[in-house]
Amino acid sequence: MIQALIGLALPIAAVWAAFRAARLGEAAHSRLLTLALASCVGIGASSALTFATLMLGGRLNTAFVVRDALTWILLLLVSLWLARGRSPNVPGDAFPPATPVDWLLRTAFLAVFVMACAVPLIEYSVSPHGQWDAWAIWNQKARFMFRAGPRWIDSMAIPWSQPSHPPLVAASVARLWAYAGRELTVVPAMLSAAFAVSMLTVVMGALDVRRQRAWVAGTILIAPLTFSHLASAQTADLPLGLFLIATLVMLPMRPAAWRMGFQTSASLWLAGATASLAAWTKNEGVVFFAASTALVIWSAFRHGRPRDIFWWAIGAVPFLAALAWFKLGVVPEAPDYLEGATTLSTITARLFDAKRQAVLWETIWSLASRWGGPAAAGSLFVVLAVAIATAFRRTGRIARGFLAVAAVMAAGYCTVYLLTPYDVAWLVLTTFDRLTLQLWPLIVFAAYAPTDDAKGVAG
Amino acid sequence: MARLEAEFRALAPDLPPFGEVGYLERYEGGGSVDAVRAHYAAQYALAPRVIVGRTGQEFVIVAEGTERPGGDPRLRGYFRVAGTPAGHRIFRRPAP
C-alpha cells in the first residue's frame, strides 16, 4: 500500500515541481488549483508512459517500477534545481480574517465532507472490487495489463469491456499495482478517491478558497449521494469530470480583476493538456476535446490572438498522440453502442424516431428529477436553474461558457442515446447518473462562477 | 462479486495462462443478471485468459448450475479435469 502511494505521489510531485520551474503554476492563480492540475497531468502522463511501455513489449515488473520511479525522481530533481531560489508563491494575498459566516460555511462544508467520505469507506468494505463497470471494464483491463504485459490487448476481444474506451484509468491502476507488487483492491479505490479530491480541489481552488462562494460550491458539489457513490465506483466517469472542469477553469474566462499575473499561454497549455486527458480517459472526452477546441479557436480569432491555438495544441499533442496510438494500434472496432449507425438513412431513422425520442425524454426526466440520491432529489434542477440565472446576467460570461460546453456534451450524450441499437430506456437507466456526474462540476461551477464585475482579492 | 471472484480464481492453476477458454452458458436463463454476473466474474478472476461464452475450446469452464441436468449435449467429447468446493469445474477435450 505504501509503495502504491509513493507511485501515486511521485508523478504528482514531479509535475508540480515542473510547473513551478516553468512558471506554469502562476497561471492557475491558486496553490490548491496548481496541485490539483499537477495531479491531473501527473496521473495522465504516468498512465501514458505505462501504456507506451506495454505497447513496446514491456511488462509491469520490478524493472518497470525502477525505471518509472527514476524518471519521475529525475524530473522532480531537475525541476527543483531549475526553480531554486524562486518563491513558490502564486499571485494573491493571504487569507483575510474569517467572519462568523465564513466559519459557518466552512463548518458546514466539513460536516458534508466527512459524511461524503464515509460513503466510499462503507462501499469499499462491502464491494472491494468496485461497482459492476469497475470489475467488468476498468479493473479487468488493469488485470490484463498487470498480469499479461504486452498481451493485455487480448482484452480487446471481450465485448462487454468496452474495448474502444481509452486506458487512462486501467493503465493507472495497473501501474500502481506494479508499485505495490500485487493486485490490492485498495489501489483503484485510492485512485478513485484521488480523482474525487482533485475535482473538489479544482472547483474550490478556481473559485478561490478565500471567498465564501468556494465553500458553498464545494459543499454542493460533494453533497449528493450520487457523487460519493460514484467516487467509490472506481469507474472512469469521475476522472473524466475532473478533466472537464480542470480544462474549463484554465481557459482565460475570468474577471478582469482576477487576471493579475495571469499567463494566457501557460493557462492554455495546461487547458490543452487536461482537455486531451479527457479524450485519453473515455470516448465522451473526445466530444469534449472537440467542443473545447472549437471554443478556443473561436475565442482566439475573436480576440485577434491566433497564437493561443498554438499553446493549446502544444499541451494537447502528447496525450492525443497516445490516444491515436491506442485507437489506431489497439482498438478493433467502433464502440458497440453505435453499432449499425453507419449510413445516413439509419442515422436519420434512429434520430427522428418519435417513439425513441419519447422514451428518451421520459426516462431522462424521471432520472434527472431524482438525481443526487434520496436527500438531494431535485438538486440537479435547482443548481442548473441557479447556473442559468447566473449565465443570463450581463456579467455572467463565465457561466455562459461553462453551460455552453455542458450543453454540447449533453447533446452528444442524447445523440448517442438515440443512435444506439440497444434499448434506449435501458441505456439511459444504466448510464444517466454517471454521465450527469461528468457535467455536475461544470454546472456547480457555473452556478457560483465569478461575474465580470467581481472584485478580485488580488485585484 | 468478491465471493464469485475468489471461487473462479481457484480454477486458474488448471487452465492455460493465456488464450481463449470456453464458458458454458446456463442451460436456461442464460441472459439473467445472475448468469451474466457469473460469466463476467469468471472473466475478471481468470484474466488474462479470454472467457468466451461458448464451447468448442480445449478448456471449458462449467460454473455451478449451468449444466443441463442429466447430461448436457454441449459437453459431449469433454471430460472433467478439475473442480472447486463451490461447484465450478473445468472440462477439457483432447486437442485435435
Task: Note whether residue A459 is domain-resident.
Answer: no
Domain ranges in chain B are: 2-67
Instruction: Provide the domain count of chain A.
Output: 1
Using a CB–CB cutoff of 8 Å, tell me whether A186 touches chain B: no
Residue B18 contacts A, CB cutoff 8 Å: yes
Taking the alpha carbons at both ends of chain B, their separation in whole angstroms is 36
A402, A449 Cβ separation under 8 angstroms = yes
Give residues 55 to 94 of B whose Cβ lies within 8 Å of A: none
In a domain, A69, yes or no: yes
Chain B residues near residue A152 by CB distance under 8 angstroms: 48
Contacts of A150 in chain B (CB under 8 A): none
* A to B CB pairs, distance under 8 Å: 45
State residue A90's pLDDT score.
55
Asked whether A171 and A142 are in contact (CB, 8 A), the reply is: yes
Is position A270 within any domain?
Answer: yes
The β-bridge relationship of strands B20-23 and B59-62 is: parallel
Predicted pLDDT of residue A456: 37
Using the structure block, give the residue that is written with the C-alpha cell 518509472: A68
Mutate to test the interface with A, among B9, B40, B46, B57 (most CBs of A within 10 A): B40
Contact B41 A157 (CB under 8 A): no
Sheet with strand B79-83: strands edge to edge: B50-52, B20-23, B59-62, B89-92, B79-83
CB proximity A155 to B under 8 Å? yes
In a domain? residue A367: no
Q: Give the pLDDT score at A305.
A: 79
Predicted-complex ipTM score: 0.91
Nearest CA in chain B to A126: B2
Residue A322 belongs to a domain: yes
Q: Which of A129, A135, A158 lies closest to B50 in CB terms?
A: A158
Mutation site for B-interface testing, chosen from A137, A140, A173, A177 by largest number of B Cβ within 10 Å: A140
| Phi, psi angles (nearest 5°) of residue A140 | -65, -45
The helix (run of H) or strand (run of E) holding residue B71 is none
Record the pTM: 0.89
Which secondary structure element, helix H or strand E, spans residue B20, and what is its range? strand B20-23
Give contacts of A 157-176 with B, CB under 8 A: 157-158, 160
Place of cell 460570461: A397
Residue B50 distance to chain A (closest CA, Å): 7
Q: Do A140 and B43 touch (CB under 8 A)?
A: yes
| Residue-number span of the structural domain to which A310 is assigned | 2-80+105-330
Q: Which of B34, B44, B51, B57 would best serve as a mutation to test chain A binding (most A beta carbons within 10 A)?
A: B44
- Whether A457 maps to a domain, the answer reads no
pLDDT of residue A457: 33
Measured distance CA(A19)–CA(A216) in Å, rounded? 29
B-chain CB neighbours of A160 within 8 Å are 40
- In angstroms, the separation between the Cα of residue A136 and the nearest Cα of chain B is 6
Decide if A448 touches B, using CB distance below 8 A.
no
Tell me the CA distances in angstroms from A308 to A28, A294, A304, one per residue in order. 17, 12, 9
pLDDT of residue A261: 46
pLDDT in tens, chain A (459 residues): 888 899 999 999 999 988 888 777 666 667 888 888 899 999 999 999 999 999 999 999 999 999 999 999 999 999 989 888 776 555 555 667 878 888 999 999 999 999 999 999 999 999 899 888 889 999 999 999 999 999 999 888 888 888 889 999 999 999 999 999 999 999 999 999 999 999 999 999 888 888 889 999 999 999 999 899 888 888 889 999 999 999 988 876 554 544 444 567 778 888 899 999 999 999 989 989 998 898 888 878 887 778 888 888 999 999 999 999 999 988 867 777 777 777 788 888 788 888 888 888 999 999 988 888 888 888 899 999 999 999 888 888 888 888 988 999 999 899 988 888 888 899 899 889 999 999 999 999 999 987 765 543 322
